[in-house]
């Protein structure tokens, strides 16, 4: 742990010990929820937390505005770092956070964000957005913290661009006609290099505010223009998916993380906010924090052990919790591991997901030109993953899917395609045994423990697609052979694994395109995955405007000094390509106003005018742009699509539109 003092560590330890003092979880109740879009298997898994750390409040103990440990940003940073490390998170969204603001003369490290970024270390980047008070002030109140109050997104990756979109704009005839109002509510979104999902955070007014309905209507419109949003934050309402709730449109459009159980006994709609005061000492428990995502979710949990859940009265001791809100942790559906085995040499294989779990080939594993690129195993060689993060990203106690192509040799007797061991057995093992495929999960961490298993007939010398699934809530294992469900079994005695992933132990034959997912793929998803294993569109290239800009790159300026396009109605163009030269492929474009972000978005993914015509295999495609504003700077990006699958987006381009 970097830069954390012993005093801070003792605070975090106190928080962790408070876990045993929490009441038992409520019984799990299956809640209605919007279904995921069924394409999460194509995307990265966003493993995130959203937390209102109450850095804005600051009243005394017992008052309604009391904020636990407001003057101890090191303690809050240490707690966040602990959650990130234990759950291997890659996104942090914070509300009511005091952050350094050099431009406003509020720099330095006496704030919430500086100690957090120091603890996270290199590899993390962040963006901020101000959330001003009703009086228009945005400075951190009191003498303990120095900075600007607002919201933050930090990611383990490189943020390539960000947008801060006002939800309530003074004088806006559609959403906020009061021209004298000074407060601001913002939607902060970031684009991350190599990611398809777009992390976004917001902090809404309280549900009793007369402008809450306007603000939520504005949020629904603004988030609809974002590509694959993962939206978290403090929504300040307990109504949730109630028919009369102002945020019901979000529930009708996107899955929300805590509307379903993810393991036996897992509660849904867990509370995230705890409040009381001397005048009303009974603790009020509410769910005010939410996470929405197009892909759906593989996990969600309110970490109440980090919240002040005790009565807030003047005579009380210092709280164990660090905020009146609990962190809400969520994992979106996506890839935990993708080994395509496409390298032509060397002893390493790269992870095509964002998780960086590269594999190491032993000497007896060779490379093959079958299926373009694949691996050959001779019975003694293996491929193994690193230990760090493997267990969190692929937890055998939760739902999961293993997908792999296998071609066993005729001489093969038995061998493991993939396994993850514990001290005494294999919590998960997908293997070829005696002419059959076998998917097994051990029932106890004890020597000689039995396994629950599914088997199916296998063919030697033939490439076969296998998908092994486990639904932890239903307690059901499934084995799919070439997209067809071959059998199921019951598995309720869940055993964790604490070892690296091992591929090819004792196996003779070929393996290709190994993928792991932290949820049970549906039969439809497995069919699509198998069909599209090597047929995904490539990221578009050749992104230019027509007419081209007058200087530098012709329309794809990425970092300042944007070139001018001498037209208010240019065309956006790109070169698209599909791995299958006979497949139809097109481009989907998105264009927005950088100069005035609250202007209606001219083109957004999936909206009118976004899609180009199809070409076969590869080609240059374009779309016309509606009339732009003279002198305004615009940003745009593009992705390729075959009508079902989409590529990652190309780097963001910028230009300035001029009338001549």
Residue 57 pLDDT: 59
Euclidean distance between CA atoms 246 and 204, whole angstroms: 11
DSSP state of 312: -
3-state secondary structure at position 77: helix
Does residue 383 contact residue 403 with C-beta atoms inside 8 Å? no
Where is average pLDDT lowest: 24-38, 96-110, 541-555, 596-610?
Answer: 24-38
Residue in the block written with tokens 């629950």: 452
Range of the domain at 588: 541-657
Mean pLDDT of 302-315: 88
**Category of 62 on φ-ψ map: left (φ > 0), alpha (ψ -120 to 50) or beta:** left
Same-domain check for residues 397 and 420? yes
Same-domain check for residues 383 and 420? yes
**614 vs 131 pLDDT, higher one:** 614
Q: Could you report the per-residue pLDDT of 635-659, keeping only the tens digit for each?
A: 999 999 988 778 888 989 999 999 8
End-to-end CA distance of the chain: 56
Say yes or no to pLDDT of 627 above 80. yes
Q: Could you report the per-residue pLDDT of 327-340, keeping only the tens digit for each?
A: 999 999 999 999 99
Residue 169 pLDDT: 67
Residue 172 pLDDT: 64
Residue 69 pLDDT: 82
**176 vs 55 pLDDT, higher one:** 55
Measured CA to CA in angstroms, residue 12 lies from 15, 16, 58, 80, 456 at distances of 5, 6, 21, 10, 49
CATH code of the domain covering residue 406: 2.60.120.200
Mean pLDDT of 257-276: 93
Say yes or no to pLDDT of 392 above 80. no
Say yes or no to pLDDT of 498 above 90. no
Asked if residue 536 belongs to a domain, the reply is no
Same-domain check for residues 81 and 142? yes
User: pLDDT confidence of 182, banded at 50, 70, 90?
Assistant: low
Q: If DSSP states are collapsed to H, E and C, what string results for 196-260?
A: CCEEEEEECCCCCCCCHHHHHHHHHHHHHCCCCEEEEEECCCCCCCCCCCCCHHHHHHCCEHHHC
Phi and psi (nearest 5°) for 358?
Answer: -70, 155
User: Cα dihedral angle (92, 98, 99, 100), rounded to 10 degrees?
Assistant: -160
User: pLDDT confidence of 180, banded at 50, 70, 90?
Assistant: low
Which of 331, 347, 377 corresponds to the end of one domain?
331
Euclidean distance between CA atoms 72 and 323, whole angstroms: 11
Say yes or no to pLDDT of 388 above 70. no
Euclidean distance between CA atoms 82 and 49, whole angstroms: 12
User: pLDDT confidence of 13, banded at 50, 70, 90?
Assistant: very low
User: pLDDT confidence of 64, banded at 50, 70, 90?
Assistant: confident
User: pLDDT confidence of 620, banded at 50, 70, 90?
Assistant: very high
Say yes or no to pLDDT of 389 above 50. no
Q: Could you report the per-residue pLDDT of 545-574, keeping only the tens digit for each?
A: 998 877 655 557 777 678 889 999 999 999
Same-domain check for residues 148 and 264? yes
Asked if residue 496 belongs to a domain, the reply is yes
Which of 481, 497, 531 corresponds to the end of one domain?
531
Asked if residue 1 belongs to a domain, the reply is no
Say how many domains are in the chain: 3
CATH code of the domain covering residue 635: 2.60.40.10
3-state secondary structure at position 267: coil
Asked if residue 310 belongs to a domain, the reply is yes
Residue 187 pLDDT: 96
Same-domain check for residues 458 and 584? no
Residue 383 pLDDT: 92
Q: Could you report the per-residue pLDDT of 32-42, keeping only the tens digit for each?
A: 458 888 899 99
Mean pLDDT of 178-202: 85
In the chain, % of residues over pLDDT 70 = 87
User: pLDDT confidence of 199, banded at 50, 70, 90?
Assistant: very high
Question: Positive or negative, the Cα torsion across 23, 28, 32, 37?
Answer: positive
Q: Give helix 6-17 / helix 73-87 axis angle, nearest 10°.
A: 60
Which of 292, 313, 331 corresponds to the end of one domain?
331
Same-domain check for residues 551 and 456? no
DSSP string for residues in 545-579: EESPPSSSSSS-B-SSSPPEES-SS-EEEEEEEBS
In the chain, % of residues over pLDDT 90 = 58
Asked if residue 33 belongs to a domain, the reply is no
Same-domain check for residues 395 and 477? yes
Q: CB-hemisphere CA count at 13 Å for 386?
A: 10
Same-domain check for residues 603 and 623? yes
Residues in the chain: 660
Average pLDDT along the chain: 86
CB burial of 405-435 (b: ≥16 within 10 Å; e: otherwise) equals bbbbbeebebbbbbbbbbeebbbbbbbbbee
**pTM for this entry:** 0.76
Q: Give helix 113-120 / helix 73-87 axis angle, nearest 10°.
A: 30
**553 vs 48 pLDDT, higher one:** 48
Q: Hey, how many other C-beta atoms are within 10 angstroms of the C-beta on 3?
A: 17
Mean pLDDT of 423-445: 90
Same-domain check for residues 291 and 192? yes
Mean pLDDT of 167-189: 69
Asked if residue 512 belongs to a domain, the reply is yes
Asked if residue 255 belongs to a domain, the reply is yes
Euclidean distance between CA atoms 310 and 277, whole angstroms: 10
Residue 260 pLDDT: 93
Same-domain check for residues 648 and 504? no
Say yes or no to pLDDT of 306 above 70. yes
Phi and psi (nearest 5°) for 349?
Answer: -125, 135
C-alpha triplet 432, 437, 442: angle, nearest 5°: 85
Asked if residue 78 belongs to a domain, the reply is yes
Measured CA to CA in angstroms, residue 261 lies from 6, 256, 401, 402 at distances of 37, 12, 18, 21
C-alpha triplet 614, 615, 621: angle, nearest 5°: 80
Alpha helices in 341-489 (DSSP H): 390-393
Residue 177 pLDDT: 56
CATH code of the domain covering residue 158: 3.60.10.10
Euclidean distance between CA atoms 129 and 593, whole angstroms: 18
- β-pair type (653-657, 564-565): parallel
Q: Could you report the per-residue pLDDT of 210-254, keeping only the tens digit for each?
A: 888 888 988 999 999 999 999 999 999 998 888 889 999 999 999
Same-domain check for residues 482 and 398? yes
CA 619 to chain centre: 32
Tokens of 280: 């009303």
Mean pLDDT of 248-261: 94
Residue 581 pLDDT: 63
Say yes or no to pLDDT of 275 above 90. no
Measured CA to CA in angstroms, residue 450 lies from 110, 442, 499, 509 at distances of 56, 6, 20, 27
Same-domain check for residues 316 and 190? yes
User: pLDDT confidence of 481, banded at 50, 70, 90?
Assistant: very high
Does residue 92 contact residue 110 with C-beta atoms inside 8 Å? no
DSSP state of 517: E
DSSP string for residues in 605-632: TTSTT-B---EESEEEEEEE-PPPPTT-
Say yes or no to pLDDT of 179 above 60. no
Does residue 180 contact residue 165 with C-beta atoms inside 8 Å? no
**List of residues 6+ apart from 635 with CB closer than 8 A:** 161, 591, 592, 594, 652, 653, 654
Euclidean distance between CA atoms 36 and 333, whole angstroms: 9
Does residue 352 contact residue 339 with C-beta atoms inside 8 Å? yes
Mean pLDDT of 184-201: 93
């Amino acid at each position: 742990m970097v830069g954390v003092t012993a005093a801070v560590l003792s605070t975090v330890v106190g928080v962790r010990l408070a876990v045993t003092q929490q009441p038992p979880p409520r019984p799990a109740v299956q809640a209605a929820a919007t279904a995921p879009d069924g394409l999460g298997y194509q995307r990265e898994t966003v493993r995130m937390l959203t937390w209102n750390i109450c850095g804005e409040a600051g009243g005394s103990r017992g008052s309604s505005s009391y904020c636990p440990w407001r003057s101890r940003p090191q303690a809050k940073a240490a707690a966040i770092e602990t959650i990130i490390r234990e759950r291997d998170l890659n996104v942090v969204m914070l509300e009511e956070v005091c952050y350094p603001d050099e431009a406003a003369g509020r720099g330095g490290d006496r704030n919430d964000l500086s100690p957090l970024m120091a603890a996270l270390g290199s590899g993390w980047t962040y963006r901020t957005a101000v959330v001003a008070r009703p009086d228009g002030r945005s400075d951190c109140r009191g003498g303990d913290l120095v900075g600007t109050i607002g919201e933050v997104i930090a990611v383990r990756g490189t943020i390539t661009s960000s947008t801060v979109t006002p939800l309530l704009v003074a004088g806006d005839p559609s959403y906020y006609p009061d021209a004298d109002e000074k407060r601001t509510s913002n939607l902060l979104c970031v684009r991350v290099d190599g990611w398809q999902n777009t992390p976004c955070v917001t902090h809404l007014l309280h549900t009793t505010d007369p402008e809450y309905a306007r603000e939520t209507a504005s949020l629904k419109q603004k988030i609809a223009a974002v590509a694959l949003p993962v939206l978290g934050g403090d929504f300040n309402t307990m109504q949730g998916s109630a028919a009369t709730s102002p945020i019901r449109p979000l529930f009708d459009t996107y899955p929300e993380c805590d509307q379903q159980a993810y393991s036996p006994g897992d509660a849904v709609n867990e509370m995230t906010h705890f409040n009381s005061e001397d005048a009303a000492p009974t603790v009020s428990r509410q769910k005010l924090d939410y996470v929405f995502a197009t892909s759906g979710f593989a996990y969600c949990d309110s970490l109440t052990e980090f919240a002040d859940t005790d009565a807030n009265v003047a005579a009380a001791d210092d709280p164990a919790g660090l905020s009146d809100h609990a962190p809400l942790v969520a994992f979106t559906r996506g890839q935990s591991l993708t080994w395509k085995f496409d390298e032509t040499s060397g002893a390493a294989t790269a992870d095509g997901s964002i998780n960086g779990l590269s594999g190491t080939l032993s000497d007896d594993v060779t490379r093959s030109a079958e299926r373009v690129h694949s691996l050959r195993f001779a019975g003694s060689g293996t491929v193994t993953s690193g230990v760090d993060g493997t267990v969190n990203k692929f937890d055998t106690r939760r739902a999961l899917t293993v997908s792999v192509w296998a071609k066993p040799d005729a001489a093969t007797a038995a061998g493991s395609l993939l396994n993850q061991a514990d001290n005494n057995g294999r919590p998960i093992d997908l293997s070829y045994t005696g002419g059959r495929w076998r998917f097994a999960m051990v029932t106890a961490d004890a020597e000689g423990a039995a396994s629950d298993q599914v088997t199916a007939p296998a063919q030697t010398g033939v490439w076969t697609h296998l998908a092994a699934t486990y639904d932890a809530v239903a307690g059901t294992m499934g084995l799919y052979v070439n997209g067809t469900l071959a059998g199921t079994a019951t598995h309720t005695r869940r055993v964790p694994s604490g070892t690296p992933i091992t591929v090819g132990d004792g196996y003779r034959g070929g393996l290709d395109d190994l993928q792991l997912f932290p949820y049970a793929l549906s039969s439809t998803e497995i069919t699509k995955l198998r069909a599209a294993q090597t047929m995904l569109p490539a990221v578009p290239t050749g992104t230019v405007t027509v007419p081209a800009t007058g200087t530098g790159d012709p329309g794809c300026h990425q970092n300042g000094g944007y070139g001018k396009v001498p037209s208010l109605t240019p065309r956006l163009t790109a070169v698209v390509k599909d791995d299958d030269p006979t497949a139809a492929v097109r481009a989907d474009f998105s264009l927005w106003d950088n100069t005035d972000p609250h202007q209606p978005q001219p083109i957004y993914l999936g909206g009118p005018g976004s899609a180009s015509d199809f070409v076969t295999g590869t080609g240059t495609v374009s779309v016309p742009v509606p009339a732009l504003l003279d002198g305004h700077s615009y940003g745009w990006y593009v992705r390729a699509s075959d009508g079902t699958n989409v590529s990652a987006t190309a780097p963001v381009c910028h230009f300035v539109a001029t009338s001549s």
